[in-house]
Chains A and B, each alone.
Chain A
Amino acid sequence: MSIFKKIITAVRGGAREAGEAVVDANATRIFEQEIRDSEKHITIAKRDLTEVMAKQMQAARELAQLQTSIKEHEGYALQALEQGNEALAIEIAEKIGELESNLADQQQANESYLKSADRLKELIKKSERQLTDYKRQLSMVKTTDSVQKATSAITDNFSASNSKLLSAKDSLERIKQKQANFDDKLKAAEQLESESGDSSLKAKLQEAGIGAQQSSAQSILDRLKTK
């Protein structure tokens, strides 16, 4: 059964004993071990891949060398034939035969390394996908578990503190009420400030012509005239 299905079944069943986990702790540990194993396998596969790729490069290099060598010897054989040295030409031809047989071996090796490398790359990709999937599933199990534990801690806390759980509507009502009280207080404070504050006294004094007066153009002119 997939983890997803297991969680749905366990959660919907509702028949769980208190404290019973969705997927028991032992299963989770096994799962974690599987993840560690896959990670180890991927590391090994990657190391193998490096080795195979190195060997393939070596084989390719040797292949190129053999091809050059064969070309060279073919040239020598032709030269020997031109000189009429049949015996030498045959000796060279034998050498070419040897080189060609080596070439065939190397070609085979090269192809087999290439195939192994492809296979390993595919395997690593597949294992990495699998690992991501394992991790996703484990995270689902752990999250379900932790939400359950958190919920039971929260519920215990509520009953321990004897606080009554309000209904959603009541809670909202109280919060709105508090907000309204706060707004009212703010408004009242503003009003008080404007009524009894410094600003209102100054305005009254000004009106009565007491204290520092705002200088008008006329008063400045009058002052200048008296000089």
Chain B
Amino acid sequence: MNIHTIATHLNQLQDATETGFNFDCTPIDGDIDVLQVEIIGREEIPIFLSVSDNQILCIAYLWGEDEVKADLKANMIEAMLEMNIPMPLSSFAKVEDKYVVFGALSINSSLDDIELEIVTLSDNSLEVISEMDTYLK
């Protein structure tokens, strides 16, 4: 599995989509291959997908440290830990100064599984932002 196979699959889905969404994928240049997946209508929160030796990582960036109300940070982190298991397919994490939700899939996942992962991750990130906005400036 590589990002180009995934991009080709998602871009050509149109009406054949399993999830009811359309996608716009753009590979990003860099040290490793990263695919930026935009769900049509939700372009503001893209999903970034990278493929390594043994897994496929999908990441959605939620907000930066600078957007968090400093006095509520501990509460926010606790809420994230508590929500980690109930939240389907995705988990909370932090990359540098950004809070993220991510999902890791086996390298042997089917393209349908990947599509489902991306859409679920997107749903989760929208829900997280809307439910956790009390912690944000």
Q: Does B86 belong to the interface (CB within 8 Å)?
A: no
Contacts A166-B44, A168-B63: A139 and B53 contacting too (C-beta < 8 A)? yes
| Interface stretch of the complex, out of B7-15, B17-25, B110-118, B128-136 | B128-136
Q: Does A115 belong to the interface (CB within 8 Å)?
A: no
The residue in chain B whose Cβ has the minimal distance to the Cβ of A155 is B96
Q: A152 and B126: CB pair below 8 A?
A: no
Q: Does A146 belong to the interface (CB within 8 Å)?
A: yes
List B residues at the A interface (Cβ < 8 Å). Answer: 28-32, 34, 36, 41-42, 44-45, 48, 50, 52-55, 57, 59, 61-64, 67, 95-96, 98, 126, 129-130, 133, 136-137
Q: Does A147 belong to the interface (CB within 8 Å)?
A: yes
- Summarize A's interface: helix, strand, loop or mixed: helix
Write out the residue numbers on chain A whose beta carbons fall within 8 Å of the beta carbon of B48.
Answer: 150, 154
Contacts A157-B29, A168-B62, A171-B129: A150 and B136 contacting too (C-beta < 8 A)? no
Write out the residue numbers on chain B whose beta carbons fall within 8 Å of the beta carbon of A157.
Answer: 28-30, 36
The residue in chain B whose Cβ has the minimal distance to the Cβ of A165 is B64
Q: A168 and B96: CB pair below 8 A?
A: no
Range class of the A interface residue count: 20 to 34
Given contacts A154-B61, A172-B130, 4 further A-B contacts (CB under 8 A): A147-B50, A149-B30, A150-B48, A153-B32
Complex CA distance for A149 and B52, rounded to whole angstroms: 11
Complex CA distance for A171 and B55, rounded to whole angstroms: 29
- Summarize B's interface: helix, strand, loop or mixed: mixed
Write out the residue numbers on chain B whose beta carbons fall within 8 Å of the beta carbon of A172.
Answer: 44-45, 126, 129-130, 133
Q: Does A167 belong to the interface (CB within 8 Å)?
A: yes
Contacts A154-B28, A178-B41: A146 and B62 contacting too (C-beta < 8 A)? no
The residue in chain A whose Cβ has the minimal distance to the Cβ of B102 is A147
Tell me the chain A residues, 165-212 only, with Cβ under 8 Å from chain B: 165-172, 174-175, 178-179, 182
